[in-house]
Structure 1
Amino acid sequence: MSRTIPAALLTALGQRTVRLFYAVELIFDSAPLRLWTGYGTKTIDGQTFTGAGSLLQIGGLEEVADLSARAADLTLSGVPSGLVATALAEPYQGRPCRILFGVTNVSAFVEVFGGQMDTMTIVDSGELCEIRLTVESRLVTLERPRIRRYTHESQQSRHPGDSFFSFVTDLQDKEVVWGRKKA
């Protein structure tokens, strides 16, 4: 996927010493969760991200030339057991997720992944837990079958009151005379 990289970010990447970071934004119903791979808080795109340091791991990011749907894996280690109940209770599937890339001393960033949360696995070892979340690319929606029918009932479920398909059942056994005299 081609993307525009801001000039400030390109300049920073050309420096002798570069400190890179990734940031993850997970949009839950109760409140968004924003984490970054550094320490302390960081403001990105007007939002405050909490530092997770090495406890946040991101895997599966890859650029492909075709339109294939890819997934990314997010792992948050060292989670207190009390927060696991919150993770289990919060609906997460299909919620938006963004992964950003940047340089610590530059405000510019690039979105390297955008998609939806898919599956969550929790590994509990007693006091601390590890939460693994798979996020699917936005392109995965292209692979899902669209189950739509050209019937009045199907049209009513999407657009109540629309009578466009109301005569389809009457037409199925009709003989249409086209280009010849009726016998």
Structure 2
Amino acid sequence: MTRSTPVSLLTALGQPEVYPFYAVEMLFDSAPVRFWTGYGERTIGVDTYLGTGNLLNISGLEEVNDLSSKRITLQLSGVPASLISLALQEPYKNRPAKVYFGTTDTTTPIEVFSGRMDVMDVEDGGDTSTITLTVESKLVRLEKASNWRYTEGSHQSRHSGDTFFSFVADLQDRDIVWGREKA
């Protein structure tokens, strides 16, 4: 992904002591959920992120030069059992998710991954549980087959009243003169 890195972030990364963090934003229907890998609350832009410390694990982040589809795994451990029911009831499939990288010395992190939530696994451990969420890049949609067919019925289900495909059968065996006079 081509991106410009803010000068403030480049300056902070060049310091003798660097305090990096990741921030995750997941846009659910009911409300967005925002975490960061530090402690306490952190305001990024106008949004507030809840600190998870070392309870949030992000794996699979890698920078590539091609247009290959990638996926990351977000794992949040130490989740109270009372919140598991909320995680199970909330629709999450195909909802947007983003991962940002920054340092505590700057206020402008950069987006390092953007995609759609795919699979959520919940491991119940009694008092606390672990939630694992797979997020796929938007390019995964290019690898999936479309369920739409080039037929009158399929077209009518998407565009009611459009009669485009009703003329296809008549055109199938027709001799069409194009660019020359009719013989």
TM-score in terms of structure 1 length:
0.92
Q: Which position in structure 2 is the counterpart of 1:87?
A: 87
CA distance, structure 2, for counterparts of residue 143 and residue 33 of structure 1: 28
State the partner residue of 2:65. Answer: 65
Question: In 2, Cα distance between the equivalents of 1:72 and 1:150?
Answer: 34
**Paired residue for 1:14?**
14
Is this contact kept in 2: 1:151–1:168, CA < 8 A?
Answer: no
Uncovered stretches (5+) of structure 2, i.e. residues with no partner: none
The count of corresponding residues between Structure 1 and Structure 2 is: 180
Partner of 2:175: 176
**Does residue 5 of the first structure (1) align with residue 5 of the second (2)?**
yes
Number of the residue aligned with 2:103:
103
Task: Kindly report structure 1 stretches of 4+ aligned residues shifted beyond 3 Å.
Answer: 177-181
Residue 177 of structure 1 and its aligned partner are, at CA, apart by: 6.0
1:3 is displaced (CA, Å) by: 1.3
Aligned counterparts of 1:118 and 1:148: Cα–Cα separation in 2: 21
1:73 maps to amino acid: T
Look up the SS of the partner of 2:21 in the other structure.
strand
Q: Distance in 2 between the 1:177 and 1:83 partners?
A: 66
- Tell me how far apart the structure 2 counterparts of residues 56 and 143 of structure 1 sit (CA, whole Å): 29
User: 2-side partners of 1:101 and 1:177: how far apart?
Assistant: 59
Question: 5+ unaligned residues in a row in structure 1: which ranges?
Answer: none
User: RMSD over aligned Cα, in angstroms?
Assistant: 1.5
Partner Cα distance (2:182, 2:31) in 1: 67
* Sequence identity (%): 54
Task: Specify the alignment match of 1:156 in structure 2.
Answer: 156
Query: How many angstroms apart in 1 are the aligned matches of 2:164 and 2:176?
Result: 23
Q: Deviations over 1:105-139 (max 9, x none)?
A: 21111100000111111111111101111111111
Alignment partners' CA distance in 2, 1:95 and 1:14 = 35
